[in-house]
Amino acid sequence: MSSLHNLTVLGAGVLGGQIAWQSAFKGKRVTVYDISDEAIERCRAAHDQYAAIYLADVGATDAEIDATRARLSFTTELASAVSAADLVIEAVPEIPDIKTATYQQMAPLLPAHTIVATNSSTLLPSDFAAASGRPDRFASLHFGNGIWAMNFAELMVHAGTSRETVTALAEFSTEIGMVPIPLLKEQSGYVVNTWFVPLLNAAQTLVTNGIARPEDVDRTFMIGGPAVGPLGMMDMVGMKTAYDVLAHWGRENDDVQMTANAAYIKERFLDKGDLGVPTGKGYYDYPSPAYAEPGFLAIPDPSAVPGLVALIAAD
């Protein structure tokens, strides 16, 4: 059993909120930190949604939900957030400068024993080990969106991470119901995002360049098994995260198409306040997205053919 009983989650966004809820559900005491009261309130509202999901889909009891809530606290004060932390999981925006500044601000506030892990989905632990102020107690621990079902934790270390830290993080992962996925070496994108980001980028390229409608891109992916297509997945990840990742790697790799895809997301969604599932609107409308309707993958009636032809062929 690990010694990581008191968890602080930095960042109350989609995945930060999920990590906090799942960890509290599994018995950890959790403090959620964010820089704004608005973000905290959005996280509280998301936790109400997770409570309903855990009751309906995970098999939680009312007593377990009440106990989960009792283990959670929220604050906008960084010093108090980390003062008793055994583990801090950073889940701030996927922007290197923001992550670095967060670590530098936090480092002098941490107890000596605290382990720090980044939940970065694409960046490397070696990018931030020095800024953490405790490279031997620093690593990456990346979770999947929809943590109650996508229950994996990708564990990536850098050259200075101690064996004790790796052991504690692996044990912590199992204690909160995750399957640890060990990375044998540093890899941008880890395991999941090494294939997931190219999938999202390819799907977004088809939409950005006017090749296909979002729902038809998703249909080609979903027919044959998956319950959600890549554009629906983008809604779940959140448009801000999708934009940050595509914009960063578009710049890093001088990828014109990826940069254009990021601009599309900004103009069509972020500038309108549409963040995907968190705000109820992205490529689909929530809580009842079109892809969840029984007829979404149905063979269309012949009467639908003229409408399809009109999309393709000009008069």
Q: According to the model, what pLDDT value does residue 232 have?
A: 94
Fold classification of 192-312 is N-(1-d-carboxylethyl)-l-norvaline Dehydrogenase; domain 2 (1.10.1040)
pLDDT along the chain (315 residues), means of 10: 91 95 98 97 96 96 98 98 98 93 97 97 93 97 92 93 94 94 90 90 97 96 90 92 91 95 97 93 95 89 79 62
DSSP 273-313: T--BGGGTBSSSBSSS-GGGSTTTTSPPPGGGHHHHHHHH-
Q: What residue ranges do the domains of the chain occupy?
A: 6-182, 192-312
pTM, to two decimals: 0.78
Pick the CATH number of 6-182 from 3.40.470.10, 3.40.50.300, 1.10.760.10, 3.40.50.720: 3.40.50.720
- Other CB atoms within 10 A of residue 151 CB: 15
The pLDDT value recorded for residue 312 is 66
Q: What is the dihedral of CA 261, 211, 279, 82, to 10 degrees?
A: -30
Strand pairing report for 6-10 and 87-90: parallel
Q: What is the pLDDT of residue 126?
A: 96
What is the structure's pLDDT at 314? 54
